[in-house]
Structure 1
């Protein structure tokens, strides 16, 4: 792996760790939260439909139709975990266990994101950057953060720091341990499924919430960036 690429990946990981750790504080500034959430949703959906899914389609040559099972798994896993937690969040007997499950799923998802970032950067620096931007905007502005994980899990600073560093840990692992192309596309499919769920379920404001103009601006903004990359 080229040293400069590893350095860029680690910088991305450090930025992700900082954003994760302070994401709850970022959300305390609610004045423009709806506008920013709509903007982030526009970016995420545009990236997902115009870039990530077409990129994922190349993996069909490696995994054939099995690839889409990983996409399904990513979406289903997060739906089941979060739905079950929210349905039982008032039951004290199991809340700690459920919160631990949520913490594990949080760490796993962002660890995989770290691995994917490194492998995308290995292919092209722009691929990694295009992937990193919507991930970070969603993390900073979206509704799912470390604050959503029960206080019993994150009240210890070392545990919170460990969870916040999940992307960085995934990046460091991927820097030193290369994975097979089939494994990469399987992980990319998992991330695509989880991202699709998050964008459609949580990032896009429903009904009267959000701001359509900011959503459109985000979509147009990232469409232009992707089109510029296609022209390179």
Structure 2
């Protein structure tokens, strides 16, 4: 009897292991532009009429994703490092050296070199109250410290940037799920079009989520892959 019970338990355990499926295995693949994504089974593709791009929605019972595939897709908010490298704050560096009565253009605007950038410390409030970074700059022979403030819309987001299978992938998700976007921007590393001065890319996003919905959206984004690549 004991031996029979052991055999029955073994059959039950292995039987469950063969029939049980992970949630991801029940998801379905949807083609969006040049990319495949796996979605829960309740999601459906809805295409729309776009100008210069392929646009539409992927609609589910609890979430709605909008997408844009083309040369003008939104690459979302800059991450802090991107803002430090090419943000609007750099345009302000020349202003302190401009003189009244002179009309400035690209040929005579004072040139300022950014030597280094470091995170701000408490004592840096004397340079700029509440600043996030301090940039050490130089104009001619004059060196000076410049306060850099990261915009709030950047601070309110989380970011993940990587390259997978020759694809640049940027994922953003708001710290407050009820406010801000949760989205993905993805493009080929070698897909730059010189004549348009842009990349062919896909952006897809959703908003006004619960924490659980945001987690599902991020799982969907992780499945993204180019059509010419295997999962």
- TM-score normalised over the length of structure 2: 0.23
Q: Which has the higher strand share?
A: 2
Name the structure, 1 or 2, with higher relative contact order (CA <8 Å, separation 6+). 1
